[in-house]
Amino acid sequence: MANYVKHIYLIIVLLFLFSCQEIDNSNDELAENIDQEISSPATRFSNFKKDYRNDEFSLGYFEEIFEGEVNGVKKWSRASRTRPITEYQNRLGDGLEMLSEINAAELGYCEGFEYYNLKAILENDAEVFVSVTEDQEPAEVYRKLETDIEYWASYYAGKPVSIDELLEFADQEILAINQAYQDLKTKFDIPDINEFAESPERFLTDTEEYSKQFTIALQHAKSATEHHFYDYDIKPIAIKIIPNCHAYYAYASYSWRGYVNVYDCGTYFDTKRNMFLASHEYFPGHHLHSQLGRMFKTCSRPIRNDRSSTLIFKEAVANYGEYLSYEALYEDPAQMLGWLDYRHIRAMRIKIDILRLERDFSYPELEAFWKSETPTRLHDNIIEEYVRLKKSSRFQYLTYLMGGEAIATARQKIEADMGDDFDERKFHHVLYTAPIGNNKYLYEQLRHGLKLINVDLESQGFILQETAN
């Protein structure tokens, strides 16, 4: 009996020791899992965003100040503060170091876009403030950037752009346009482009008749380009004739409420512009971009738009969309000419603005230069373009050409990478729906989105994988 009790006791002791070992092992596994979770890219990026929201990597921040206690209630106030330049430079460095330790390929769909947008913002500010000294006012640094055409051209293009490179860009655009003029003359047997362009039939003063023609252009813009996209249920658009000129002399503009504003300056409507304006403002431009953004709200708004404003990016997308309408434009020589002429105007803005800012040209000098570089039919456009340039902030007119070019370049690179696996409709779905910023990581953002998205419109819009790995 005694031996039997001893055996039972020994078994109990062994079971106890074994259970302790199991507890130790489970604790080790738990600790290891916690460590892995803490060090995971998603967790580290989440911690980075918390610091970012708390202005840990910002030049300006708010300080909480204790005002005292009234009837047992503590009173606090917030005061705006600006960090010393050296501290801000160090904080930018710390933030970029944190981001460098995170593998974007291991982040989810929305987090990947945020990662690249925030990285671009911090890198941009680090480049701006790398040579700023303590005796300089930060506000003055930003004020100078507002009138720095090289800075904004580089930002919109997603790569460094010098004044000379910007002029070369404009010259190449004009060279291509001049060749297109010649091709148009040959293809459609047009003896004189100026005479063809200024034919009375190209201009209307009747508002009702113009509305009919522009409505036809809107319908054609959609039917001619919708094969580049998935079959979305896009709401129709309306036309609103505004009985005065636009503040910046724009011919048309898009309202996020779902209509195109066309401006009647009391002279005439140039019908040669109908097709490209319909493409830019409606489909595949602003209206499509706006509608898809509302239909597919997968990601929350960016933490901070800053200079990578989504509004700026919308102009880049609309300009890109014009090129998707190329075949439809070429069906009608008048519509193709209207588009080429406006591209010519956009390129000339760059040239005269550089002369205005860098060489201090007077208006008469700019007017003489404009007329020496443009066809007769565009001579009078210098008046409205000069007003537009004087009123423009952050050289927004560059977003059309530079931003559109950046999208086209990113697409070409992605097509080369993917070969036969490239799906144009899927590419456009990411481009038009994702929270993409207008910055130097445009290619990386598009590639990130394409890796993690499977479009299935009939079920749930689209399916997202957790990570690219």
Q: How far apart are CA 401 and CA 180, in angstroms?
A: 17
Same domain, residue pair 51 and 16: no
Residue 458, in any domain of the structure: no
259, pLDDT greater than 80:
yes
Average pLDDT estimate for 6-13? 58
Residue 249 has pLDDT above 90, yes or no: no
Strands (DSSP E) contained in 138-251 are 203-204, 238-242
Whether 338 and 254 map to the same domain: the answer is yes
> Is the model more confident about 332 or about 466?
332
- 218: tokens are 């809107």
pLDDT-derived band of residue 36, with 50, 70 and 90 as boundaries? very low
Higher confidence at residue 307 or residue 225? 225
Calculate mean pLDDT across residues 108-129: 92
**Is the pLDDT score of 272 beyond 90?**
yes
8 within domain boundaries: yes
For residues 110-127, give the mean pLDDT: 92
> How much is the average pLDDT of 249-260?
92
Query: If 0-12 CB within 10 Å is exposed, 13-18 middle and 19+ buried, where does residue 415 land?
Result: middle
160 and 63 in a common domain: no
Residue 429 within any structural domain of the chain: no
- Mark whether 226 and 246 lie in a shared domain: yes
Phi then psi for 51, rounded to 5 degrees? Answer: -65, -40
Closest CA to 114 of 45, 41, 39, 40: 45
Whether residue 385 has pLDDT greater than 70: yes
Q: What is the pLDDT of residue 310?
A: 58
Cβ neighbours around 313 below 10 Å, total? 24
Please, which residues have CB within 8 angstroms of residue 446's CB and are 6 or more apart in sequence? 410, 411, 414, 427, 430, 431, 436
Q: Which of 131, 146, 161 is the last residue of a domain?
A: 146
**What is the reported pLDDT for 335?**
97
* Side chain identity at residue 56, one-letter code: E
The per-residue pLDDT for range 40-96, each reduced to its tens digit, is: 899 999 999 999 988 898 888 888 888 888 887 888 888 888 888 999 999 999 999
435 found inside a domain: no
Task: Tell me: pLDDT of 391 over 50.
Answer: yes
What's the longest Cα–Cα distance across the chain? Answer: 122
Confidence band (pLDDT; 50, 70, 90) for 454? confident
Number of domain units in the chain: 3
Contact 355/365 with Cβ under 8 angstroms? yes
pLDDT band at 460 (very low <50, low <70, confident <90, very high): very low
In a domain, 446, yes or no: no
pLDDT at 459 over 80: no
Residue 11: pLDDT band with limits 50, 70, 90: low
Residue 426 contacts residue 420 (beta carbons within 8 Å): no
Is residue 28 very low, low, confident or very high in pLDDT (cuts 50, 70, 90)? Answer: low
- Domain end call among 146, 171, 192: 146
Is 465 domain-assigned? no
Q: Are residues 137 and 159 in the same domain?
A: no
Q: 457 or 452: which carries more pLDDT confidence?
A: 452
Question: What is the structure's pLDDT at 457?
Answer: 59
- Specify the pTM: 0.86
Is the pLDDT at 148 greater than 70, yes or no? yes
Residues 102, 60 share a domain: yes
Which one has a higher pLDDT value, 308 or 436? 436
Asked whether the predicted pLDDT for residue 424 surpasses 90, the reply is yes
**Same domain assignment for residues 7 and 117:** no
Q: CB burial class (10 A; 0-12, 13-18, 19+) of residue 58?
A: buried
Q: Could you tell me if residue 445 is inside a domain?
A: no
pLDDT band at residue 379, thresholds of 50, 70 and 90?
Answer: very high
Give the structural domain span for 194: 149-416
pLDDT at 73: 84
The rounded percent of the chain whose pLDDT value lies above 90 is 64
- Residue at token pair 């075949």: 327
Q: 289 and 396, same structural domain?
A: yes
SS3 326: helix
Statement: residue 308 has pLDDT above 50? no
Percent of the chain exceeding pLDDT 70 equals 86
| Whether residue 167 is found in the same domain as residue 289 | yes
The mean pLDDT of 127-146, rounded to a whole number, is: 87
Residue 229 lies in a domain: yes
**What is the Cα–Cα distance from 171 to 422, expressed in whole angstroms?**
32
Judge if 153 and 86 occupy the same domain.
no
Which range has the worst mean pLDDT, 112-116, 245-249, 357-361, 366-370? 245-249
Could you tell me which residue, 141 or 354, shows the higher pLDDT? 354
Domain boundary residue among 146, 181, 200?
A: 146
410 and 293 in one domain?
Answer: yes
**What interhelical angle do 138-146 and 109-129 show, nearest 10?**
100
Flag the least confident range among 176-185, 305-314, 373-382, 437-446: 305-314
Are 71 and 197 part of one and the same domain?
no
pLDDT of residue 142: 85
